[in-house]
Amino acid sequence: MEKAEEGLSDLVSALDNQGDIKDDGMAEFESYAAKTEEALAPAFDHIILLQARRQALTSQRVSGNDRSGQPSPVQGSEALSTTVISQTQTKATELPPLPVSTFAGNIWEWDNFWEIFSNNTHSKDLPEMVEYNYLLDALEGEARESIMKYRVTKNNYPKAVASLHKKYNNKEALVNHLVDRLECCALRTPSIKHQRSLLEQLQAITTQLQDKGEDVNSSWLVKKVLAKFPDSTKRKVIIKKQGLSMEMPFIMSLLFQLIDETLSSEEMFQVFAEKPHQ
C-alpha cells in the first residue's frame, strides 16, 4: 500500500517537472489518480479496523491472565503488570474515530473544528493519506472546495492544511465578522422564549470576541447589548443593578447575569401561570 502511495506521489512529481501537459494527458492522470484513491481508501479503513481489533484482543488477553492467575510475562511485579495494561489501553484509544464534527467554511467555527480534528486525527501517528481522507470527509461546501486544487497525495496533505489555516485562522477577519453578527442580532418577538434565544446568541458572540483578546466590557457596548431587549426587561435589569454595590462595575458578564435572572423569573412565572389541563 505504501508502494502504491509512493508511486502515485512519484508520478505527480514527474508530471509537475514536465511543465505544460496536454489536456488528454492530464485527464488520463486524473482518472488514474481517482481510481487509485478509490482503491486505497477501503484498504486504509480495514487497516484501522484490524489494528483496533488487535489492540482489543491484546487488552482482553492481558486482563484475562491477570484475573485468572495464569502465568504472564509481566507477573512478578504487580506495578509492572498495571503499567503494561495501562499502556495497552492507551494504545487502543490512539486510533482516531471518524470526525464527528464538520466544517463548511463558517470562520467562527474554525477554532472549535480544528481543535477536535487535530485531537482525533491530525496529531495521531497515521499515514498522511489516511489523515487527508479524514479531512476531506470532515469538510463541506466552501471549505472542501478550497482545497480541491490539491491532488489527494501524502505530499499535498500539509499544503491543504496550511491553506485552510491561512484562510480561516484569521483573527482580524473573525473579529470583524463577529462584530457584524453582534450588530445583526435582533429580537424576533418580545416573547421570553425569543429573548432567551437572543441572550444565548449574544453570549456566544461576546465569548468568542473575548477569546480573541477583544474588550467587551466598555460602557457603550454594554448599553448597546441591553438596548436589544424590550423595555420591560431593560427596566427590571436596571432595577437589579441599582440594588447592587455602586462599586461593582457594570461589565458584560454582570449584564448577562442580570438578564438571565430576569428571564428565569419570567419563565418560572409562566410555568405557574399555566392553566392545568382538564
Contact between residue 225 and residue 252 where contact means Cβ atoms under 8 Å apart: yes
Residue 276 within any structural domain of the chain: no
- Examine the pLDDT at 68 and tell me if it is beyond 80: no
Are the beta carbons of 197 and 176 closer than 8 angstroms?
Answer: no
Q: Mean pLDDT of all residues in the chain?
A: 79
Residue 90, domain member (yes or no)? yes
88 and 3 together in one domain: yes
54 Cβ neighbours under 8 A, 6+ residues apart? none
Q: Which of 19-23, 141-145, 178-182 has the lowest mean pLDDT?
A: 19-23
| Band of residue 84 on the pLDDT scale cut at 50, 70, 90 | very low
The answer to whether residues 137 and 207 belong to one domain is no
DSSP 90-105: HHHTTSPPPPS--B-S
Q: Is residue 1 part of a domain?
A: yes
Residue 233 has pLDDT above 90, yes or no: yes
**Which three three-digit cell numbers place residue 134?**
479524514
> Domain boundary at 151, 169, 187, which?
169
Report whether pLDDT(67) > 60.
Answer: no
| Candidate from 25-29, 93-97, 249-253 with smallest mean pLDDT | 93-97
238 versus 271: the higher-pLDDT residue is 238
Read off the pLDDT of each residue in 189-213 and give the average, rounded to a whole number: 95
Q: Return the residue matching grid coordinates 481489533.
A: 53
Same domain, 200 and 148: no
| Residues 29 and 87 both lie in one domain | yes
On whether residue 278 sits in a domain, the answer given is no
For residue 86, what is its C-alpha cell?
495501562
Ranges 18-32, 97-111, 192-206: which has the least confidence = 18-32
Same domain for 176 and 104: no
Q: Is residue 109 part of a domain?
A: yes
Q: What is the mean pLDDT of residues 79-106?
A: 58
For residue 215, the model assigns a pLDDT of 95
Residue 15 and residue 75 in one domain: yes
Asked if residue 195 and residue 164 are part of one domain, the reply reads no
Q: In angstroms, what is the C-alpha Rg of the chain?
A: 28
- Shared domain check, 161 and 234: no
Q: Angle, nearest 10°, between helix axes 231-242 and 252-273?
A: 120
Q: Is residue 140 part of a domain?
A: yes
Residue 245 domain boundaries:
172-271
% pLDDT > 70, the chain: 63
Q: Identify the pLDDT of residue 101.
A: 78
Which of 27, 33, 25 is closest to 9 using CA atoms?
Answer: 33
Q: What pLDDT, in 10s, does the model give residues 93-138?
A: 455 554 457 899 888 889 889 989 988 888 888 888 889 988 999 9
For the record, the C-alpha cell of 74 comes out as 509481566
Alpha helices per DSSP H over the chain:
2-17, 23-68, 78-92, 110-117, 128-138, 141-146, 157-168, 171-184, 192-211, 219-226, 231-242, 252-273
Amino acid at 215: D
One domain, residues 40 and 2:
yes
Alpha-carbon dihedral of residues 58, 62, 67, 71, nearest 10 degrees? 130
Q: Give yes or no: residues 193 and 213 share one domain.
A: yes
The last residue of one of the domains, among 136, 151, 169, is: 169
Considering the entire predicted model, what is its pTM?
0.55
Query: 261 pLDDT exceeds 70?
Result: yes
Q: Which residues contact 219 (CB under 8 A, 6 or more apart)?
A: 250
**In a domain? residue 277:** no
pLDDT in tens, 155-193: 999 999 999 999 998 889 899 999 999 999 999 999 999
What total number of domains does the chain contain?
3
Domain ends where: 67, 95, 123?
Answer: 95
**pLDDT interval class at 92 (50, 70, 90):** very low
Residue 40 has pLDDT above 90, yes or no: no
The predicted structure's pLDDT at residue 77: 46
Q: For residues 43 and 66, what is the distance between their CA atoms, to the nearest angstrom?
A: 35
Beta bridge mates, 139: 103
**Shared-domain flag, residues 177 and 232:** yes
Cell of 9: 506521489
Residue-level pLDDT at 148:
92
Contact 197, 175 (CB under 8 A): no
Least confident of 18-22, 104-108, 142-146, 195-199: 18-22
Cα gap 152→155, rounded to integer Å: 8
Phi, psi (deg, nearest 5) at residue 103: -135, 125
Say yes or no: 186 and 261 in one domain. Answer: yes
Q: What angle do CA 88, 50, 1 make, to 5 degrees?
A: 120
Q: For residue 277, which phi and psi values (nearest 5 degrees)? A: -70, 140
In a domain, 186, yes or no: yes
Q: 35: alpha, beta or left, given left = phi > 0 and alpha = psi -120 to 50?
A: alpha
